[in-house]
Structure 1
Amino acid sequence: MDRRSPSASAAGPLPRRSWWGWGTEDRALPDGECADLGALVPGAAGTPLPVPGIADLDMPLSRVTAPPSLGHLVSDAPEDRAGHTYGKAYRDVVRALYGDLRPAPDLVARPRTEREVTDVLDWASGADVAVVPYGAGSSVVGGVEYRAGLHRGVVSMDLTGLDRVLEVDRVSRAARIQAGVLGPALEDQLRPHGLTLRHFPQSFEFSTLGGWLATRAGGHYATLHTHIDDLVESMRVVTPAGVNESLRVPGSGAGPSPDRLFLGSEGTLGVITEAWMRLQDRPGHKASATVFFDGFDTALRAVRAISQSGLHPANCRLLDPGEAALAQVAVGGRSALVLGVESAGRPVDGRLAELVGLARDHGGAPAPAGREDSDTAAGTWRSAFLRMPYLRDALARMSVISETFETACTWDRLPLLVDTVRRELAATVRKTTGSEAMVNCRLTHVYPDGAAPYFTVVAAARRGSEVAMWDDVKAAATQVLGDLGATVTHHHAVGRDHRPGYDRQRPEPFALALRAAKQALDPAGILNPGVLLDPAPRPGATG
């Protein structure tokens, strides 16, 4: 085994993160481009909302002070508190643009060791201070925003100081990795070993391994190992009741899985500090192709055939006509299916040809296939995919609702679900905003028994009422998903925004067990209160 792989941070400082929006400041659209983009949406505001400077924010005063023993770990600087107030959902971006920092944490803690994580939790448990674990802040469901109002203070625990690959087991193709490492730094540390975790969510640049584990994140790959769950050998989690470390084995039938208790727990039961993760050899063979369809229902049947074929494409993204046009992949009302295959050891052209053949058998018209890095429709889609959050922020500055939500259901219910969501949300937007909505759909992940549709809603809102209007649309979407037996989230997690839908779909006996686990592991109720469960009232607590 190789130990203590060097941190990628030695390569130099990263670009400055945006405190109010997605990604880095240098990639945000300037005012002129925001206005040009807004002009494409009927009813959008004529000028962009200004981006407040940190010095201009009305930041609430910190209510708590950490003890001297923790002073080197914590900060109450306005830029730290502002940058850790919200995640990166549409409603978060809009509130930040209006300078609403009322939920700001009192302190930001940056532990660099597991011992320091424990020290912070020990102090907070005795001081009635809530602790919100924070990976890189890319939550789009209110997962890092404190709303409980029951505690004396709030600490955002930024875990990006735990950023190393500690061991690499090349024989077993696994690595022990600290939870605070960002996606690019993780891959940089694995690259010299010829290995990859092969987990690339859209937030890859701005999210951490611990965040992926805590939210059961879905990666870019559309079939087979779609969620981070599939890549976990064992985990180490610090709870107020002690450290939980599971046995590192390839599989076990010894009772309920301890890892499953913490996967998806979103910081409510403990702080994930490291994990042994299953790796793969880096792929050396890649190929991609795009297939066009005249009808979305026809394309759905083609994708179902592909998902049940056992060919396991790495990419199998189906874009409806609106989504395909936005990504500049297809025009003329056609849907586009972007296919990709890869392998570490053998050519993939034959497998790609089989996939394209299946799509053709179901009415698809293939475009000329190209290599992964060539100028193809697939490459165009990838560029648009990574750029989309910045465009979302630009539209938010123009008082345009531009937001997404995702779900999953079985194939037999999928056509009805897509049609109902489009119809109901268009009607809700019209009633709520007075505007016509664009409601697009794409499939992000596919399984033999179903798929994960991902919806985009774009509509002009009334300046000053953007958040309330989106909340009405989101509530309607949640209602439709629940009525049709679809999950409230496939890979965005629950956070606080999805609690109504999660409470509806969660079995009550499981809820009882989850509440008992919360009480046993976090008896003071300090860990991310309000996520997954209502915070338990505590005698004598002040808010």
Structure 2
Amino acid sequence: MTRSWWGWGNVEDAVKGAELKALLERARMLMPGEPTDHEPPDIASLGLPAPRVTAPASLAGLCSADPADRAAHAHGKAFRDVVRNLQGDLRHVPDLVARPRDERDVVDLLDWCTREGIAVIPFGGGSSVVGGVEPRFDDRPGTVTVDLERLDQVMEIDRTSRAARIQAGVFGPRLEEQLRPHGLTLRHFPQSFEFSTLGGWLATRAGGHYATLYTHIDDLVESMRVVTPNGVSASRRLPGSGAGPSPDRLFLGSEGTLGIITEAWMRVQERPRWRAGASVRFGDYAAAVAATRAIAQSGLNPANCRLLDAAEALLNAGADVGGGLLVLAFESADHPVHARLERALELCRDHGGEPSGVTSGEAPGHAGGEPDGAPGDGSAAENWRSSFLRMPYQRDAMARHAVIAETFETACTWDRFDALHRAVTEAARQAMYEVTGTGVVTCRFTHVYPDGPAPYFGVYAPGRWGSMVSQWDHIKAAVSEAIETHGGTITHHHAVGRDHRPWYDRQRPGPFAAALTATKTALDPAGILNPGVLLPAP
């Protein structure tokens, strides 16, 4: 397979044929005329500037100045990144891409960059959608992107404690491949699973497979090892500890600003044996939300509890529902889960839900992706899962045809959801009207907690080639303001990066900002690590 330098995933998996034809039919509903395809440029035509730095002889073998390498590490995989790549707009690129072979190489790279004042951007799979890996600054003598893909091994397995010591550069499929012979799994499957790494998940506090209970990678961490310019931080393996503030919590979500995560002991699980799932249709959205809240507060802890509103259900699950579609799934390695599903369906019926596509029994665990609860039965849940895995590729195809297709997410308490949902939806619609004249907003819950949901919004609107980045930025600013004003978080699992910084600065308490700044200064005195992410660049 060939990784795409400009867009998502593998070149061979791009949208084409009947899938592209169907996608363009949907696009025609949003924009007049025939959509025009825009081919990505050849890398040779980009005219990238010459590297400004040269690695010392001892590190030269780790570093690449190849234009294709530099272009592929210049942006993440957000809509605005894809559009800028398609238009050949790579105004900020790393000077070198370094691939350390072990932790000693990471230490040596940081020592060199600290001495020279060279900015360092830690890089996992590059799937950031918030500007987290982009060298968007010009005041440094150079930038080195440190790609950890060579650190991709499961180093040790503690079967007794059910934990594994894993290097940070391992991609999702490779990680599961190494755990599978032991009958174990991490069971952390974000949408980016195939193209993201353990270190990236830890650095951004990624959300994964579970819609309830084990929602974030935080829940699966036993200890971490992090290389900083001021030394190596290695926390002790413990099931829990009350010994002061958690050192792991300091680096979880630090987004490469405090150090480079090289390995972690992770809590792994037996592979699921029993599964059960169903789809539930609702005629009223408020009732669907109430049913989802009842399940979230029931203690049943479904692995999947995704509520799709009517627009999301129609666009991405092919289900015509008046109020919403709830995709439910339970799983266990220890016991059958049919009784839990039945109780959840009782709660849904109490709120007017109509279940369908019920499945239950022994089944092998997925190699990746989300559980759907009804594998292979042609149900709305199966349609949703298939669409979910193809969404990033379809987003790229729409971008090539000048259609704005992007998402944003948040989380809030249940008591604030109705007001936040109304405000964000209205802000998105108004902003789309101002810059495109029309558009569609969808909403689904990616995760649910006893005290609140994590709403994930989708935006689809006609774009103007050459103006799509500014169009999207206008929409994004409007919805971000609505989220912040109505008590949501600027991000539930996409991270802060550079794109969310203005709203994160307002969300973050002042004393904590001062403490984080002091921590940054102590661990990274030269300010070389990912300048501008989480904190203003020094």
Q: TM-score, normalised by structure 2?
A: 0.95
Asked whether 1:324 is paired with 2:310, we answer no
1:411 match: 414
2:197 maps to amino acid: T
Asked whether 1:401 is paired with 2:387, we answer no
C-alpha distance in 1, partners of 2:209/2:308?
Answer: 15
C-alpha distance in 2, partners of 1:454/1:432?
Answer: 22
- What's the offset of the Cα at 1:108? 0.4
2:513 match: 511
2:60 match: 71
- What's the offset of the Cα at 1:37? 5.1
Given that 2:313 and 2:321 are in contact with CA atoms closer than 8 Å, whether structure 1 keeps it comes out as: no
Asked whether 1:470 is paired with 2:459, we answer no
C-alpha distance in 1, partners of 2:35/2:252?
Answer: 45
Given that 2:275 and 2:329 are in contact with CA atoms closer than 8 Å, whether structure 1 keeps it comes out as: yes
- What's the offset of the Cα at 1:516? 0.5
C-alpha distance in 2, partners of 1:279/1:223?
Answer: 17
1:351 match: 340
1:277 match: 266
SS of the residue corresponding to residue 189 of structure 1 reads helix
Given that 1:184 and 1:204 are in contact with CA atoms closer than 8 Å, whether structure 2 keeps it comes out as: yes
Deviation track 1:217-247 (CA, whole Å, cap 9, x = no partner) reads 0002100010000111100000000000001
- What's the offset of the Cα at 1:127? 1.2
- What's the offset of the Cα at 1:86? 0.3
SS of the residue corresponding to residue 61 of structure 2 reads coil
- What's the offset of the Cα at 1:368? 3.2
C-alpha distance in 2, partners of 1:412/1:332?
Answer: 25
Q: 1:165 aligns with which of 154, 172, 180?
A: 154
1:205 match: 194
- What's the offset of the Cα at 1:361? 0.9
1:314 match: 303
1:29 match: 15
Deviation track 1:366-405 (CA, whole Å, cap 9, x = no partner) reads 1130254231222211110000111111111111111000
C-alpha distance in 2, partners of 1:149/1:521?
Answer: 23
Given that 1:404 and 1:454 are in contact with CA atoms closer than 8 Å, whether structure 2 keeps it comes out as: yes
1:180 match: 169
1:5 match: none
1:21 maps to amino acid: G
C-alpha distance in 1, partners of 2:479/2:187?
Answer: 31
- What's the offset of the Cα at 1:472? 0.6
C-alpha distance in 2, partners of 1:248/1:314?
Answer: 27
C-alpha distance in 2, partners of 1:48/1:514?
Answer: 45
Moved more, 362-371 or 393-402: 362-371
Q: 1:232 aligns with which of 221, 235, 243?
A: 221
2:2 maps to amino acid: R
Given that 2:282 and 2:321 are in contact with CA atoms closer than 8 Å, whether structure 1 keeps it comes out as: no
- What's the offset of the Cα at 1:328? 2.7
- What's the offset of the Cα at 1:349? 1.1
1:286 match: 275
Moved more, 37-46 or 512-521: 37-46
Given that 1:292 and 1:336 are in contact with CA atoms closer than 8 Å, whether structure 2 keeps it comes out as: yes
Given that 1:38 and 1:45 are in contact with CA atoms closer than 8 Å, whether structure 2 keeps it comes out as: no
Q: 2:423 aligns with which of 411, 420, 424?
A: 420
- What's the offset of the Cα at 1:47? 0.8
Given that 1:496 and 1:531 are in contact with CA atoms closer than 8 Å, whether structure 2 keeps it comes out as: yes
* Identity of matched residues, %: 62
1:138 match: 127
Given that 2:317 and 2:381 are in contact with CA atoms closer than 8 Å, whether structure 1 keeps it comes out as: no
SS of the residue corresponding to residue 265 of structure 2 reads strand
TM-aligned CA distance change 1:449 to 1:332, over 3 Å: closer
Deviation track 1:283-305 (CA, whole Å, cap 9, x = no partner) reads 00111100000111110000000
Deviation track 1:156-175 (CA, whole Å, cap 9, x = no partner) reads 11001100000000000000
C-alpha distance in 2, partners of 1:42/1:333?
Answer: 25
1:120 match: 109
TM-aligned CA distance change 1:519 to 1:45, over 3 Å: farther
2:416 maps to amino acid: R
Given that 1:44 and 1:399 are in contact with CA atoms closer than 8 Å, whether structure 2 keeps it comes out as: no
- What's the offset of the Cα at 1:329? 4.0
- What's the offset of the Cα at 1:333? 3.4
Given that 2:30 and 2:439 are in contact with CA atoms closer than 8 Å, whether structure 1 keeps it comes out as: no
- What's the offset of the Cα at 1:70? 0.7
Given that 2:404 and 2:461 are in contact with CA atoms closer than 8 Å, whether structure 1 keeps it comes out as: yes
Structure 1 residue ranges without an equivalent (≥5): 1-14, 537-543
Q: 2:4 aligns with which of 15, 18, 37?
A: 18
2:82 match: 93
2:452 match: 450
Given that 1:45 and 1:463 are in contact with CA atoms closer than 8 Å, whether structure 2 keeps it comes out as: no
C-alpha distance in 1, partners of 2:138/2:407?
Answer: 28
C-alpha distance in 2, partners of 1:150/1:360?
Answer: 60
2:182 maps to amino acid: H
TM-aligned CA distance change 1:171 to 1:44, over 3 Å: farther
2:479 maps to amino acid: A
C-alpha distance in 2, partners of 1:39/1:73?
Answer: 48
2:28 match: 39
C-alpha distance in 2, partners of 1:339/1:35?
Answer: 30
1:343 maps to amino acid: S
Q: 1:150 aligns with which of 139, 163, 177?
A: 139
Given that 1:392 and 1:403 are in contact with CA atoms closer than 8 Å, whether structure 2 keeps it comes out as: yes
Q: 2:99 aligns with which of 81, 85, 110?
A: 110
Asked whether 1:256 is paired with 2:245, we answer yes
- What's the offset of the Cα at 1:55? 2.0
- What's the offset of the Cα at 1:35? 4.8
C-alpha distance in 1, partners of 2:317/2:496?
Answer: 31
TM-aligned CA distance change 1:107 to 1:317, over 3 Å: same
- What's the offset of the Cα at 1:423? 1.3
Q: 2:384 aligns with which of 381, 386, 393?
A: 381
Given that 1:316 and 1:445 are in contact with CA atoms closer than 8 Å, whether structure 2 keeps it comes out as: yes
Given that 2:35 and 2:402 are in contact with CA atoms closer than 8 Å, whether structure 1 keeps it comes out as: no
After the TM superposition, which residues 295-306 of structure 1 pair with which residues of structure 2 at under 5 Å, given as runs?
295-306=284-295
2:39 match: 50
2:536 match: 534
1:499 match: 501
- What's the offset of the Cα at 1:332? 4.6
1:483 match: 485
Given that 1:322 and 1:440 are in contact with CA atoms closer than 8 Å, whether structure 2 keeps it comes out as: yes
Q: 1:361 aligns with which of 339, 344, 350?
A: 350
> Once superposed, what is the RMSD of the aligned Cα atoms?
1.3
Given that 1:60 and 1:101 are in contact with CA atoms closer than 8 Å, whether structure 2 keeps it comes out as: no
1:66 maps to amino acid: A
SS of the residue corresponding to residue 203 of structure 2 reads helix
SS of the residue corresponding to residue 510 of structure 1 reads helix
C-alpha distance in 1, partners of 2:16/2:283?
Answer: 37
C-alpha distance in 1, partners of 2:79/2:217?
Answer: 25
C-alpha distance in 2, partners of 1:113/1:45?
Answer: 51
